[in-house]
Amino acid sequence: MAAVCFLQMLTFTFPLCLIAFGVNDAYDYYSDIVNPRKSDTSVEGIILNPAHRHIVLRGAIVSSINTVGISLLPSYLAPAHLSNQQKYMPTISTILLIAVFWIYSAPPLRLKERPFLDSFSNGVMIWLTWSVGFVSCSTMVGQSRTPMDAPIEIYMLSLAASTVHALAAAADIEADVSAGFTTIATVLGRRGAGQFGTLI
């Protein structure tokens, strides 16, 4: 069990970061080049060279496949009395998490450019990230749990992530307008995005 947990944790380091941030950088080029927060010396990230875009996207695809593959391991350690749905809940949760990361940044859905969904999807990412570990451990010890069984603290943390996104969108408003992106901040304005973040 410890080895499976360790492998799952490894997939949530570089592989998941490549899916979350690599795909985002691949599709954010036009806003990044006019964003003062992005530069070769910035701690908030550099601008992805278009020549490397296909490498990053291929790496994200491979990471997605590997992460889903490893998420199958808890089902093999699950006690026999668990339902098939519970046995594969870790994989279902992992697929949902990876799907949200992809559709947040990549067209055609690109939730990043759908006001309000852009902020709330960031909260969903936090909730699902926690859920993968929760349902994986539950499955391996023979307990029936789903992501909906999260304690109130996780839901609050998810809302906090939505707030942080709204504030970050407010900081990027000029770059997003220049690139023609529609975000919660470009619709509500800097103050409106801040008020939205405070409200939730």
Q: What is the pLDDT of residues 113-153, one digit of tens each?
A: 999 999 999 999 999 999 999 999 999 999 999 999 999 99
97: Cβ contacts below 8 Å, ≥ 6 apart:
125, 128, 129, 131, 132
The residues spanned by each domain of the chain are: 2-199
Position 59 scores a pLDDT of 99
Q: What is the pLDDT of residues 17-76, one digit of tens each?
A: 999 999 999 999 989 998 888 876 777 678 999 999 999 999 999 999 999 999 999 999
Using CA atoms, how far apart are residues 103 and 38, in angstroms rounded to an integer? 22
Using CA atoms, how far apart are residues 125 and 39, in angstroms rounded to an integer? 26
Using CA atoms, how far residue 121 sits from 26, 106, 118, 165, in Å, is 19, 13, 6, 9
79: Cβ contacts below 8 Å, ≥ 6 apart:
142
pLDDT tier, 81 (very low <50, low <70, confident <90, very high otherwise): very high
Using CA atoms, how far apart are residues 180 and 8, in angstroms rounded to an integer? 38
